Structure 1
Amino acid sequence: MNKKIDVGTRLRTVLLFVALINQILVSIGWSELPVGEEEVKAATENLYVAGSTVFTIATALISWWKDNPISRKARAKKAKEENRL
């Protein structure tokens, strides 16, 4: 039985959480971009929100496209399937 979560699953899960947290922060209007008031325009703001949304959607799709064995039961099933091949 494989007791460890593989690196790819961990990486995809962490990136998904980063993207989701970023999306929540952008949605409530909190941005970490160091831009002065005079430089902020509607187009820049909309571009950032659109880019953040695309990043979130892409990360979510990539993260969960593959079978991600998170639970012990799922990892055991994956190990059993790999041993069968």
Structure 2
Amino acid sequence: MRMCDKGTVIRTVLLLVALINQTLLMFGKSPFDIQEEQVNQLADALYSAGSVIFTIGTTLAAWFKNNYVTAKGKKQRDLLLKNNLTK
């Protein structure tokens, strides 16, 4: 029996990266080594907006996809695989 499919792992890792990045931004930390004087306000605003869009996108993808992480979900996946009802 497989633990998780590749799509579930990828979506989960991207979601964790997005949430860590967003948390760092909320506390005024930059995940990249960029000096404040090197960054103008427009670039900072664009990075923040891009970060929020990335977080929302990965959250929606992780939420709407069937990730089969619970015991019930794993049973559903096994039944689908057994009956060739998945891609």
* TM-score normalised by the chain length of structure 1: 0.82
Counterpart of 1:9 in structure 2 is 8
Give the secondary structure class of the aligned counterpart of 1:78.
helix
Structure 1 residue 40 and structure 2 residue 17: aligned? no
Counterpart of 2:22 in structure 1 is 23
Gaps of 5+ in 1: none
* TM-score normalised by the chain length of structure 2: 0.81
Structure 1 residue 81 and structure 2 residue 47: aligned? no
Q: Shift of the alpha carbon at 1:26? A: 0.7
In structure 1, C-alpha distance between the alignment counterparts of 2:49 and 2:42, rounded to whole Å: 10
Aligned residues: 84
In structure 1, C-alpha distance between the alignment counterparts of 2:2 and 2:54, rounded to whole Å: 31
Letter in 2 for 1:21: I
Q: Shift of the alpha carbon at 1:73? A: 2.3
Gaps of 5+ in 2: none
Alignment check: 8 A CA contact 1:19 1:59 kept: yes
In structure 2, C-alpha distance between the alignment counterparts of 1:22 and 1:38, rounded to whole Å: 21
Give the secondary structure class of the aligned counterpart of 1:74.
helix
